[in-house]
Structure 1
Amino acid sequence: MEPDYIAARKLGLREMKQAALEKRSPYPAVLDHIIEGEGKLAEINIGLLEIPLNMIDGTRTEGRTSAFAANFMPVLKPDTEFARKWSDLYDSQTKEGIRDPIKAYEYMTRFYVEEGNKRVSVSRFVGASAIHANVIRVMPKKADTKEYRVYREFLEYFNVNRMYDVVFSEEGSYRKFAACLGQTMDKPWPAEVREDIKAAYAVFEQVYHHEGEKRRMTLPDGDAFLTYLNFYPIQSLINEPRTILENRIDRLWKEFLVDANEDGITLVETPDEIRSEKTAFDTLRGILQTKPHYSRENPLHMAFIYPKTADNSGWIYGHELGRNYVESHFGGLVKTEKYENCSTDEEVRKAVDAAVANHAEMVFTISPTQMDETLRSAIHYPDTKFLNCSINLSHNAVRTYYGRMHEAKFLMGAIAASVASNHKIGYVADYPIYGIVAGINAFAIGAGMIDPKAKIHLKWSTDKDINWRKDFEDEGVYVVSGPDFIRPAQASREYGIYQRDLDGNVINLAAPVWNWGTYYELIARNVLEGTWDAAGQAAEDRSTNYWWGMSAGVIDVILSEKLPYYSKKLVDTFRSGIVSGRISPFMGELHSQSGLIRPDTSRGLSNEEIITMSWLNDNVIGSLPKKEALNEEANAAVDVSGVSGVGTDGGNSSAAALAAAGHEDTTRME
């Protein structure tokens, strides 16, 4: 069938021209060239498998690569012996299919053919998606690179699910994938799960690429597939109509763009960053005449969704004070409502539905454990503004807000060291999530600056097996940085910085303050003044994180009258330095428990380094907890925003629950 060879050759020649324009090789890649200089690499016989044709990048040896373009379409002239054999194979394929497997080497999840180049070429030309292959794996050399770490995770995944159809490019993705499907990484996956993956992924690729023809598509297929599974169970791709799937992927497109952007978080450090954009945005808004109009008759409606109640959670009590403040502060321009005891996805979903039905324009969820359903709701209600109280979670549809609490902890460390005569200071932390470790280290550095002999005894209140009060007593620790909040229904004086005297009495010295009223006032003003969509906050491939501190008035430290005069003066000096930007706990030389982090330089740590730090300062006695040691509530928070080193599963707990239950709640997802 010479016409078919000519048609295939045209595709090959077109690919070669495109390669020349893009200044890349026009021929298939050669594995021998890729691993040249690596020395002898181990090879493992994987056996007979079906492999995706789009994962075949080239050939094992240079051989006859010049007979093919990079897309494996033939390029030799039609009057050659090669063309005749290719056409004969094509005829055989159309009648009987490709019966003999190829031989291919797998290196870093890509394939290189040693036997069967023409079979690959013909299969691609006829539109096949996969081919049988005897696979030999070439093991890469160990390297401290992201690519190597991701590949090691793939090997762990391959041990429980022997298939190549879906691969990911980000660390932690294979465990997230397992969680989405209700599977683990230590037991073989059932055959029916593999069948579902193949069927669902084939549908997803078709719809994803169809939608990608209309816009920018930068996220690899596997990564985009995992993003989809964060929102919808895998069965939805098999059972739902194509129109519904297209609508869903259209709604998710900005999330795909954020996931593809390695620098996908816009960190707004002060409200002034918004105000600085206001003038230019006002000009544009004046042209477009889009300034919102709010009045007492048409107030801005804000809904707050709490996982517990203000009576049994000091954290929620603070947010409730903030909610009441923002409503009273604007004199009727802002209306608020609250929904309590919304800790599960279903409870959050019902609260969001009720709030939107009640015309709420903004919805606040105040725990990272509520983020999964907050994100799903934001995709479902694109005209409603959603915010979650957390940091460093990258989603375009949900903005996050949190405080620079490490600034207050720095001051509190200095206070504690000024009164701890035996150099021992206790520190009680709750969850090992983003931002918390920075608070521990800032406290330790502040203490060390006042007393170089100070040692910080770290305990985790969510550790199931410890009694931190007894531990401090046994260790001779009398000055303690306890929980940041008190529960109104269970009042205690063991919060903030306190000291126990010889009779066991608690003497309160200082406490951190979250001024949530001020925070919510500033966010509400952002909407009332029409700057919510100001440049830098509304880019479609970025997420927006508000991360405000002392300079914005949302974080502070209150001091007891019992604190010595000199300690108060010290705090005032440090506070003014932080507000002005002259002082930061993470400027200059830094040491962790394992050695030097940064030499003495003027440049401090970046915001990302502060938020995501997973090391402990050298004067801290203690460690990050193991995930299995934490209670259920802490584990839920760690799954969503745990720091590196705690052993997270990467979230998706609700998706896993849906998958394990074998059903999908689709009552409002269309």
Structure 2
Amino acid sequence: MDIQVYERVYKLAMKEYRKKTLHGEWPYLWVLDEILTHVDVAKEVELGLVDIPIDQIMGTKTEGRTNAFAANFMPLLPSDSEFAYKWCQLYESHLEEGIHEPIKAYEFLNRFYVLEGNKRVSVLKSCDAVSVPGTVTRIIPKPDDSDENRIYYEFLDFYEKTGVNYINFSQPGSFPALLKSIRVENEDDFTDEVREQFYSSYINFRAAFEKNGGDKLSLTPGDAFLVYLNYHPYDEIKDKTADGIKKEIVKIWDDFVYYPNKPEVKLIMDGDTTDKKQNLVKKILPLVSSPVKVAFIHAKTVETSSWTYGHDLGANHLKGALGDKVIVNSYFGADSQDNQMSIFDKAIEDGNTIIFSTSAQLVGTSMKYALDYPKLHFLNCSLNTNSRYIRTYYGRLYEAKFLMGALAGVLSPTNEIGYTAAYPIYGGIANINAFALGAKMVNPNIKVYVKWSHLNSERQDELLKDVHVSLISGADFIKPGANTQEFGLYNPNEEVPDNLAMAVWDWGVYYEKTVQKILAGTWKQEVGGDKNETLNDWWGMSSGMIDVIFSKKLPPDTVRLINLLKKGICQGEFDPFAGMRYTKDGTHYVKVTDKLTSEQIITMDWLAENVIGFIPTMEELSDYAKSIVEVQGVSKVKESEA
């Protein structure tokens, strides 16, 4: 009998017992029968023989042997007991030939409770075994609204498609997110080869994470793995070693420390937030003696995208405004993961130190390269992005949309006007509602009919088939050479649409001011000292980045009215979303003295009461729209996919 081994594990048991008792926690094994007295059970399912992760064995099925083990499954009975003798025999047998007889266990919420084989589990845990074979019965609780229950039902779907039970999460939505990351939609996708590769990738990550002290943090290794996949696509980590992964996770360690809290978004609302009293030497002496290289990375090309065209105009503005202080390099076609990587590599190889990526689709790659090149400046054109490693920028377009709605309300001869929307993304719903509220301000009876331009669904065709609108708010940009007048606010009933007004993005204003601040050394003054903080530039009409231009055909008094509203918005005296507002079904309400916060405006996922239409589900969107909405979509649309 190897009494020395037993004395060692007995000491571990007593240490665990004292620690749990000191903290007022249960010091013995959990008993499933007692847990289930407070649970509504839906059904039991026989899983057959399962490889049970040993660190997920939490206790026993019945209370018979509870007090024989501490909470860590180490034995609490003295070394001169019959129990100790049998434990040591089993230990010696395991060393000689291994333990092969499966235990019997119950699984509840992906935790396991032993019916037969407690000593086998204790011995295997003492030998640092990873798993134990067992015949398992699954106990499924009835659905409820708790996070734990929701996570478990997501796990059941994940398990059905993968058979994997060794990864756990603390936050709802994580299992579906992991399936998406590894591109598994059904069990046929998770082949034996994929299963082996997934196990290797996850175990390598977990080893690196725990070796770096991750086991002392509050998140699970699964939580950390999903965070890591936000920066390093799954396909890239297949061949990485634990040591290679460790070097990468050190760079994002703050993400693990603060989990599940995302960085607090600090919004920079205009372009003049730095200290006006700059050092006199900075005013007199330039900080750079040679031109700074500035890269613009676009997902599409000028010929195929009006969005890219607008940003390219901004890049050209920067070149003209700063002259020989900058060298502007533009890169197009970063429309796939492989293209993005090669284009970012080329931009860095070319010596660019300021890198603007002009699409939300590029935010993940931007974050990855920001981690690899911390001395460079990375900025991504997106809204509500929680990353402490890059700066993001966007515009308060809803201010201009409110003015265009008011103009439409004044000019429309009927009570029906249209609005063409692109994607249900952050800020996009606010644009629709601001337009509708502007129109309603001057015409309380007016209705705004919304049509989505990137839909596969026929639902909106049925909704709009008998509607005859007098004016439409169309696309904000048109591609150069496009043979259409259907942009801005226009009259669709003319033989050639009559354009009345247009909201414009002047990206050059943002690029010029931002690069000037970087060159002057004042850009960093806007960065706070809180590591758990991310900066989003969210400029409005007061900055000059967004404006509305009017047709010369408009009555001067009408333009004067709209300009008065514009002045009020720019000076902070008028807020389009202040006051009492209702959604179409009356569920959202704001008191007259209240105003919506910036976060409420950005994440808005409801439609104003005078809007006729709907917010599409993910399934109704085109494939290209899905790629954008997956990154920047409002929560209502993302949840429709789950």
- The equivalent residue for 2:94 is 93
Distance 1:142 1:134 in 2: 25
Q: Which residue of 2 aligns with 1:415?
A: 407
How many matched pairs? 640
Are 2:424 and 1:432 aligned? yes
After superposition, residues 618-629 of structure 1 pair within 5 angstroms as 618-629=609-620
Q: For 2:438 and 2:34, how far apart are their aligned partners in 1? A: 54
Give SS of 1:332's match: helix
What is the letter of the counterpart of residue 208 of structure 1? F
Cα offsets for 1:248-267 (capped at 9, x unmatched)? 33334345456x24242423
Structure 2: runs of 5+ lacking an equivalent = none
Q: Could you report, residue by residue, the CA deviation over 1:329-352 in whole angstroms, capped at 9, with x for unpaired residues?
A: 335333322112332223222222
d(CA) in 2 for partners of 1:229, 1:146: 22
For 1:566 and 1:378, locate their aligned partners in 2 and report how far apart those are by CA, in whole Å.
50
- Greater Cα shift, 328-337 or 190-199: 328-337
Aligned to 2:315: 323
For residues 236-258 of structure 1, what are the alpha-carbon distances to aligned partners after superposition, in whole Å with 9 as ceiling and x for unaligned? 65644444233233334345456
Q: How does 1:129-528 map to 2 (within 5 A)?
A: 129-185=130-186, 187=188, 189-212=190-213, 217-232=217-232, 239-257=239-257, 260-271=259-270, 274-275=273-274, 295=287, 297-464=289-456, 475-490=467-482, 492-500=484-492, 503-528=494-519
* 1:76-113: CA deviation from partner (whole Å, max 9, x where unpaired): 33233333333232222222322233333333222333
Partner deviation per Cα, 1:460-486 (whole Å, 9 max, x = no partner): 112256799999795211210000112
Q: Is the 8 A contact 1:416 1:447 kept in 2?
A: yes
Distance change >3 Å, CA 596–CA 645, structure 1 → 2: closer
> Separation in 2 of the partners of 1:114 and 1:535?
60
For residues 10-29 of structure 1, what are the structure 2 equivalents within 5 Å?
Answer: 10-20=11-21, 22-29=23-30
Does the CA contact (< 8 Å) of 2:31 and 2:60 recur in 1?
Answer: yes
Q: In 1, Cα distance between the equivalents of 2:164 and 2:463?
A: 50
Task: Show the counterpart of 1:663.
Answer: none
Q: How does 1:473-622 map to 2 (within 5 A)?
A: 475-490=467-482, 492-500=484-492, 503-534=494-525, 536-537=527-528, 539-565=530-556, 567-600=558-591, 602-622=593-613
Partner Cα distance (1:592, 1:138) in 2: 42
Instruction: Tell me by how many angstroms 1:452 deviates.
Output: 2.4
Q: For residues 127 and 471 of structure 1, do their structure 2 counterparts lie closer, same or farther at Cα, with a shift above 3 Å needed?
A: closer
Q: State the identity %.
A: 37
Aligned to 2:114: 113
TM-score of the pair, normalised by structure 2? 0.89
The code of the aligned residue for 2:616 comes to: P
Q: Against the structure 1 CA distance between its residues 532 and 625, is the aligned structure 2 distance closer, same or farther, given a 3 Å change threshold? A: same
| CA gap 1:311/1:250 in 2 versus in 1, 3 angstroms | same
TM score, norm. by length of structure 1: 0.86
Bigger CA drift: 528-537 or 456-465? 528-537
For 2:640 and 2:415, locate their aligned partners in 1 and report how far apart those are by CA, in whole Å: 38
Instruction: Tell me whether 457-466 or 478-487 shows the greater mean CA deviation.
Output: 457-466
The one of the two structures with greater contact order (alpha-carbon pairs below 8 A, sep at least 6) is 1
3-state SS of paired residue (1:163) = coil
Cα distance in structure 2, aligned partners of 1:80 and 1:353: 67
Is the 2:340–2:362 Cα contact (8 Å) retained in structure 1?
A: yes
Q: Identify which range, 453-462 or 36-45, moves more after superposition.
A: 36-45
Q: Is the 8 A contact 2:619 2:641 kept in 1?
A: no
CA distance in 2, matches of 1:216, 1:574: 55
- 329-338 vs 467-476, which moves further: 467-476
Relative to 1, partners in 2 of residues 1:459 and 1:84: Cα closer, same or farther, differing over 3 Å? same
Q: Describe the SS at the equivalent of 2:245.
A: helix
Aligned equivalents of 1:649 and 1:470: distance in 2? 21
Deviation at 1:455, TM superposition (A): 1.4
CA displacement at 1:130 relative to structure 2: 1.2
**Residues 345, 372 of structure 1: 8 Å contact kept:** no
Question: What is the CA–CA distance in structure 1 between the aligned matches of 2:460 and 2:489, rounded to whole Å?
Answer: 15
Return the letter of the residue paired with 2:49: L
Q: For 2:440 and 2:498, how far apart are their aligned partners in 1?
A: 22
Indicate the residue corresponding to 1:128 in structure 2.
129
Deviations 1:183-202 (CA, angstroms, capped at 9, x unpaired) = 21364622222222222222
Give distance in 2, aligned partners of 1:447 and 1:541.
40
Paired position in structure 2 for 1:657: none
SS across alignment from 1:445? helix
One-letter code of the match for 1:224? A
Task: Please report how far the alpha carbon of residue 55 of structure 1 lies from its aligned counterpart in structure 2 after TM superposition.
Answer: 1.9
Cα distance in 1 for residues equivalent to 2:149 and 2:218: 22
SS in 2 for 1:58: strand
